[in-house]
Amino acid sequence: MSEPYTYPRKGSIDDPLRIAVLISGSGSGLLSLLKHQQSNQCPHVTKLIISDNVNAGGLHHGGIFEISTAAIPLPRSSDKNQQRTLHENLIHEKLINSKIELIVLSGYMRILTSVFVKKWKGRIINIHPSLLPKYPGAHAHRDALADGAEITGCTVHLVDEGVDTGEIIAQEEVPILEGDTVEKLQERVKRIEHQLYPKVLDDFCS
Ligand code: GAR
């Protein structure tokens, strides 16, 4: 049986929710969130950035914005299940030590185990580059193009024990244009994501 969602407390401008942003890549979504938090009074504040990828371009944003940043790669282990557990334990410990109240996945490309999700359920939010339930998984743009879709988009949703199956909070459509490639579509969708995610977080946290 799946666990119910346990939502975070209400954040306020005086006492914002402490967010950790988890990334794996260039972190353009992270950057848009940090700029949003810098130029607006928000009920949330980024206190920690974690990447599973030590070479993630997005790790640089932490230094520029003076936010505690950690690269936590998968530890060495021949047992894949043990490796995932050890990795998530390291992340969990870091989140607890930083008094994190909400985990924001922003291009984090690892699937979280149900054990980890249960500990944080209702307090993990993700953005996915499709109109879920269409095209879940790691290749949403490729799958949308292969399907001949004319419309795709992005979805902000709570994370549950499945892959991109949690409760949907917001979606926005993006048209697929003639001659689109994965790269062109990805850029167009990201531009929408960068507006949508910070706004949804403002609402969700308050
Ligand atoms: C974003 O488009 C995000 O929706 C996607 O990765 C990109 C990250 O870009 N996430 C997923 O595909 C999760 N399954 P960024 O690193 O430039 O922010």
Global pTM reads: 0.97
pLDDT average, residue stretch 178-199 = 98
**pLDDT attached to residue 1:** 66
User: Does the Cβ of 193 fall within 6 Å of ligand 1?
Assistant: yes
Domain boundaries, the chain: 17-205
Nearest CA to ligand 1 atom 3: 107
- Give 17-205's CATH code, choosing from 3.40.190.10, 3.40.50.12280, 3.40.50.170, 3.30.230.10: 3.40.50.170
Beta strands (DSSP E) in the chain are: 17-23, 44-51, 68-71, 102-105, 124-128, 151-158, 168-175
Query: Is 24's pLDDT higher than 80?
Result: yes
Alpha-carbon distance of 189 to 158, in angstroms, equals: 19
Instruction: For ligand 1, pick from 28, 108, 112 the residue to mutate: most ligand atoms within 8 Å of CB.
Output: 28
Instruction: For ligand 1, pick from 46, 61, 130, 193 the residue to mutate: most ligand atoms within 8 Å of CB.
Output: 193
